[in-house]
């Protein structure tokens, strides 16, 4: 097979030996009656959080497939759940999708069975986080940046740097940031530290936050150890983070637009920004388990997931960008050209999307620190080591 690369830089050494295979499903049969999905919080709504956001109820009625959702809080949790089995679909980010492919946990998708495939953003159709040698292992769902959310009563002007969560300082309200900020509870947060260092310590020579040699990796861990003294909580549950901003005195954190939107809808003094150092981000793909018990309902859901009205409402709900560009302009849902521009539809090339770190990278074979070390070392950082 060809040597594939992630975002043009990181070689897929973890994929060595994988030979593309044909999709298992060649035609859609009778619906099985249900589909079991592992998803990020807020991704699959049936109007229970806010009644106007519901893209499940009508699907269930039309298809005969009951949608069962298991919320996962991190990519590692998604991989673990798919390894355990019992699920049909997962909305996987780029730091999980290739691990699922390499581990034979997901199957190729027959795009001929998805009529709306032609409407998918050309930037996403063959994205390297779900495509191997031209074989698609999923259907794009949504993408967006990891933003810095902040309390507007503390920050009268938007913060211009991620330093408010990485370095101890006095905030504009005259109080320290110590104990008032949060960080993401996942090893991929090491990439946020690396991206910060790309801007502030160019002498380290970091060219990708997911491709770190030993010296660059050590610098990122050292920065995270400084951050460890500042954070009140390492968050992974979006709703707990929302509560922390409302009730526990948290004033700044890396977050998702989802939390920002819910906090704002509750009247909280919250806004978000992408600071000068830029942002990491996520481009998520709906992938089907290799042993999916409900493949027909799974294909029906994947087709439904590309409906422009669903994509439009999902983008507004999450504050992110649809996988179907027409959702921004066709008027079938809540999105408009203006909301898509505001959510960063034109900033695709500026986001460094989550991807799995591997040892064979653009710096050379074996030159970069692989993901299993990120996992163990981040646990150590959180534990104060």
203-218: per-residue pLDDT in tens? 999 999 999 999 999 9
**Phi and psi of 36, rounded to 5°?**
-110, 120
Q: How far apart are CA 90 and CA 82, in angstroms?
A: 8
CA angle 344, 350, 353 (to 5 degrees): 95
Tokens representing 262? 């819910």
10-residue mean pLDDT profile of the chain (385 residues): values are: 31 42 86 97 93 96 98 94 97 93 95 97 94 93 95 98 98 98 96 98 97 98 98 94 97 93 94 94 96 97 97 94 97 94 86 91 94 96 90
Contacts for 339-342: CB closer than 8 Å, 24+ residues apart: 339/315, 340/315
- pLDDT value, residue 2: 28
- pLDDT value, residue 65: 98
Kindly tell me the burial class for residue 56, based on how many C-beta atoms sit within 10 Å of its own C-beta (0-12, 13-18, 19 or more).
Answer: buried
- pLDDT value, residue 21: 67
Q: How far apart are CA 47 and CA 52, in angstroms?
A: 6
Can you state the angle between helices 308-318 and 295-305, rounded to 10 degrees?
70
Q: How far apart are CA 316 and CA 296, in angstroms?
A: 29
| Concatenated DSSP letters of 87-152 | -SEEEE-HHHHHHHHHTT-B----GGG-GGGGGS-HHHHT-TTTEETTEE--EEEEEEE-EEEEET
Helix (H) or strand (E) holding 80: helix 75-84
- pLDDT value, residue 9: 30
CA angle 34, 257, 153 (to 5 degrees): 140
Task: Report in angstroms the alpha-carbon separations of 120 from 42, 72, 114, 145, 351.
Answer: 21, 25, 11, 19, 19
- pLDDT value, residue 231: 97
Assess contact for 68 and 37: CB atoms under 8 A: yes
DSSP 176: B
The reported pTM is: 0.84
Assess contact for 2 and 270: CB atoms under 8 A: no
- pLDDT value, residue 19: 47
């Amino acid at each position: 097979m060809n040597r594939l690369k992630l975002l043009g830089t990181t070689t897929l050494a973890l994929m060595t030996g994988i030979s593309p295979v044909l999709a298992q499903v060649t035609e859609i049969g009778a619906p099985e009656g249900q589909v079991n999905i592992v998803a990020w919080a807020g991704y699959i709504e049936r109007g229970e959080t806010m009644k106007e956001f519901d893209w499940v109820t009508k699907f269930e009625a039309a298809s005969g497939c009951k949608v069962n959702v298991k919320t996962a809080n991190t990519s590692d949790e998604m991989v673990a759940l798919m390894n355990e089995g019992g699920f049909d679909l997962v909305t996987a980010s780029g730091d999980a999708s290739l691990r699922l492919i390499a581990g034979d946990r997901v199957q190729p998708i027959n795009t001929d069975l998805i009529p709306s495939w032609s409407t998918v953003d050309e930037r996403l159709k063959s994205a390297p986080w779900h495509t191997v040698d031209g074989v698609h292992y999923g259907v794009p769902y949504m993408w967006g940046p990891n933003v810095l959310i902040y309390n507007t009563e503390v920050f009268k002007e938007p913060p211009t740097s991620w330093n408010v969560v990485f370095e101890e300082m006095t905030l504009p309200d005259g109080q320290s940031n110590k104990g008032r900020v949060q960080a993401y509870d996942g090893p991929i947060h090491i990439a946020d530290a690396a991206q910060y260092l790309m801007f502030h310590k160019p002498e380290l020579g970091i060219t990708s936050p997911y491709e770190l040699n030993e010296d660059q990796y050590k610098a990122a861990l050292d920065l995270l150890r400084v951050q460890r003294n500042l954070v009140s909580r390492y968050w992974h549950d979006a709703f707990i983070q929302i509560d922390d901003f409302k009730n526990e005195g948290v004033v700044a954190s890396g977050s998702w637009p989802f939390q920002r939107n819910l906090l704002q809808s509750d009247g909280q003094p919250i806004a978000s920004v992408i600071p000068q150092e830029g942002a990491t981000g996520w481009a998520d793909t709906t992938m089907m388990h290799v042993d999916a018990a409900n493949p027909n309902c799974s294909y029906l859901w994947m087709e439904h997931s590309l409906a422009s009205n669903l994509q439009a409402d999902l983008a507004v709900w999450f504050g992110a960008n649809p996988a179907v560009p027409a959702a921004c302009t066709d008027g079938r849902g809540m999105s408009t050209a203006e909301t898509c521009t505001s959510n960063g539809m034109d900033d695709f090339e500026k986001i460094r999307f989550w991807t799995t770190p591997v040892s064979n990278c653009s710096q050379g074979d074996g030159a970069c620190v692989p993901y299993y070390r990120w996992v163990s070392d981040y646990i150590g950082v959180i534990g104060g080591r």
